[in-house]
A = this chain, B = another copy of it.
Amino acid sequence: MKTYVFLLVILKVSGRIRFSTAENPCCSFPCQNGGVCMTMGHDNYLCDCANTGYYGDYCETATFWQGLKNLLRPHPDTTNHLLTDPGYKWIWDVINNIPFLHSVLMRLIYLLRAEMVDSPAVYTSAHTYVTFEAAANTSYFMRGLPPVPTDCPTPMGVAGKSELPDVDYLVERLFRRHTFTAETYGSNLLFTFFAQHFTHMFFKTDVNRGAGFTWGGHGVDVSHIYGPEKDTENKLRAFKDGRLKTQTINGEEWPPLISQSPVKMLYPANVPREKQFAIGHEFFGLLPGLFVYATIWLREHNRVCDVLKSVHPEWDDEQLFQTAKLVILGETIKIVVEDYVQHLSRYNFKLTFEPELLFGQSFQYQNRISVEFNHLYHWHPLMPDRFNISGRLYEMPEFLFNTDVALEHGLTTMVDSFARQPAGKMTYHNHANVTLEVAKDTILQGRQLRLQPLNEYRKKFRLHPHTSFGDLTDDREIAEDLERLYGDIDAVEFYVGLMVEAHRPNSMFGPTIIEVGGPFSVKGLMSNPICSPKYWRPSTFGGDVGFDIIKTASLKKLFCRNLKGECPPVSFSVPMATDPVSQCEDEDCLKVEL
């Protein structure tokens, strides 16, 4: 019984399929709907439509069942509109309060988002076709779409010019911030640093091997707290009551110094050793915002250890440590889903972390970070040009590798200030000077990796491809610029397109970031081993006491339980009308539109 449709397509040199016999006939990405293009001799190709729900020469025709599914499933633009438009908020308020209905929808979100991600992985940056290595070799980031073949007429396949635009020109013209534009919906620096702190646990490009490689695990493994491997973890551990090493400075608990925990950290030579703190991620001395999050999680780990020890006086250091680590991991996912993703999605539907909704479903508890997810998560426009800590302004260069800032102001003040300062808007003309270089590198890496054009990613993630430059961006000048530079809307590069794309109403990001990032994000969070049935039970977390810590975790509790004095207005938005942005003395900071 053949369950696949596999048809020989005699290539027609017509329409958009343009190539000579010297070219790879798959360069035009002729196969639709997840069909795989395979060359057959030098001039022909086949679209393999097996297991896609489609058939036809280009896998363009839906089977009956797939057609029905398509009919029932709204377009992502519609879904997003329904979920975010304030006009429907009352409906969601009702749904959020009907547990059965809420569970059905939440499960659907998990499943529909996750099914967009290949699991096991099939592509890496090393091959344009499926290899066993893609699944087996975790040194690679996976790929959502395979690289553009090397034997194509243009760098983007067949569309566009034979050379891509000058990257310096692109960055200057499209990315450089002239005036700070605040994030439209009031996101603050607590959000910015959460994003940076959280995602760097799995976005770890192995630059020595190349842009397609990673030195990280492939998901939420809390390696940014405990280190990338056992040796670092051991150096960070106190080996007493499960706790991590800390030191007290100005009456507060902080991470240890590298003299106390000799882990590998990347501090520049001008940072004296007595100011080099040991953190799970070698890079997290970079910014006081990362240092703040590192400290908070460190305190939370030790707090959890004490709670566990009170219930389990019989446990040794090792069991307390291992179990506290599982609790911290659970809290992380809970907070990411219910505070962080809830905030950035702007959904009126209440997102919940309920692993049990996936029990018995066709769902893979494994994850691979894709290089596209890494690229689209380059959210540097969120970064302001300067930081306002309790009224004192720090220019970015002053802030870098300056752990003194946090020690001097104290953790509570740092958190308070981050909560009150707006983040930048994720759009064009909003990269601060220091982050321009990162944007440039990202584009160059995208070229090295031969990422397929933006429109191919839009198609893969159920969006209509942009039909014109005016369709892509709402800035006429940028549209004209891009048209001149790329020549063809189908040739616009992935990262460039993401950054210039017009936002849908009520969105913090362009639609492609949301529709590509959403699946990778949901899949990464819910496929964590602790979400699987053999993990997700009380005893894994020390019993009800640990399980409840996870199930009731929130950003607010994470901070308020571990800060001295009155708890600041902890949230991912700057405080609202009832708590005006009065502390915001920086002129840019006041530009936030609330």
**Contact residues of A with B, CB < 8 Å?**
1, 3-4, 6, 36, 38-42, 46, 48, 50-51, 99, 118-120, 122, 127, 129-133, 135-137, 217, 221-222, 230, 311-315, 318-319, 322-323, 325-326, 329, 356, 359-366, 529-530, 532-540, 542-544
Query: Known interface pairs A135-B529, A323-B129. Does A536 touch B51 (Cβ–Cβ under 8 Å)?
Result: yes
Chain B residue numbers with a CB within 8 Å of A311 are: 40
Number of copies: 2
Contact of A537 (CB < 8 Å), options: B36, B217, B361, B363: B36
Chain B residue numbers with a CB within 8 Å of A542 are: 38
Residue contact A4 to B135, C-beta cutoff 8 Å: no
* Nearest B residue to A529, CB-CB: B135
Residue contact A51 to B359, C-beta cutoff 8 Å: yes
A68–chain B nearest beta-carbon distance, Å: 16
Contact of A329 (CB < 8 Å), options: B119, B132, B538: B132
Residue contact B314 to A136, C-beta cutoff 8 Å: no
- 3 A-B pairs with the lowest CB-CB distances in the bound complex, closest first: A50-B537, A135-B529, A48-B539
Contact of A533 (CB < 8 Å), options: B46, B51, B133, B532: B51
Query: Known interface pairs A364-B365, A538-B48. Does A529 touch B38 (Cβ–Cβ under 8 Å)?
Result: no
28 A–B contact pairs at CB < 8 A?
A: A4-B537, A6-B544, A38-B539, A38-B542, A38-B543, A39-B314, A40-B312, A41-B313, A42-B313, A46-B539, A46-B543, A50-B539, A120-B532, A127-B319, A129-B319, A130-B534, A130-B540, A131-B322, A131-B325, A132-B222, A132-B322, A135-B535, A136-B529, A362-B363, A364-B364, A364-B365, A364-B366, A365-B366
A89–chain B nearest beta-carbon distance, Å: 25
Residue contact A132 to B217, C-beta cutoff 8 Å: no
* Nearest B residue to A133, CB-CB: B322
Residue contact A4 to B50, C-beta cutoff 8 Å: no
Chain B residue numbers with a CB within 8 Å of A543 are: 6, 38, 40, 46, 48
Residue contact B538 to A4, C-beta cutoff 8 Å: yes
A139–chain B nearest beta-carbon distance, Å: 9
When chains A and B are docked, how far (Å) is the Cα of A105 from the Cα of B511? 45
Query: Known interface pairs A99-B1, A529-B136. Does A119 touch B365 (Cβ–Cβ under 8 Å)?
Result: yes
A-B contact sample (20 more), CB < 8 A, given A51-B534, A360-B362, A364-B366: A36-B539, A36-B540, A39-B312, A39-B315, A40-B311, A40-B543, A42-B314, A46-B539, A48-B539, A51-B359, A120-B366, A120-B532, A129-B539, A130-B535, A131-B326, A132-B322, A132-B325, A132-B529, A132-B530, A135-B529
Chain B residue numbers with a CB within 8 Å of A318 are: 127
When chains A and B are docked, how far (Å) is the Cα of A555 from the Cα of B566? 74
Query: Known interface pairs A40-B311, A356-B3. Does A326 touch B132 (Cβ–Cβ under 8 Å)?
Result: yes
Residue contact B533 to A132, C-beta cutoff 8 Å: no
* Nearest B residue to A36, CB-CB: B539
When chains A and B are docked, how far (Å) is the Cα of A34 from the Cα of B362? 22
Chain B residue numbers with a CB within 8 Å of A51 are: 359, 533-534, 536-537
Chain B residue numbers with a CB within 8 Å of A131 are: 322, 325-326
Contact of A136 (CB < 8 Å), options: B6, B217, B534, B537: B217
When chains A and B are docked, how far (Å) is the Cα of A41 from the Cα of B313? 6
Chain B residue numbers with a CB within 8 Å of A222 are: 132
When chains A and B are docked, how far (Å) is the Cα of A383 from the Cα of B126? 43
When chains A and B are docked, how far (Å) is the Cα of A218 from the Cα of B62? 37
Residue contact A48 to B314, C-beta cutoff 8 Å: no
When chains A and B are docked, how far (Å) is the Cα of A221 from the Cα of B137? 11
* Nearest B residue to A360, CB-CB: B362
Chain B residue numbers with a CB within 8 Å of A129 are: 319, 322-323, 539
When chains A and B are docked, how far (Å) is the Cα of A355 from the Cα of B326? 34
Residue contact B365 to A534, C-beta cutoff 8 Å: no
Chain B residue numbers with a CB within 8 Å of A122 are: 534-535, 540
Chain B residue numbers with a CB within 8 Å of A39 are: 312, 314-315
Chain B residue numbers with a CB within 8 Å of A48 are: 537-539, 543
* Nearest B residue to A48, CB-CB: B539
When chains A and B are docked, how far (Å) is the Cα of A137 from the Cα of B322? 13
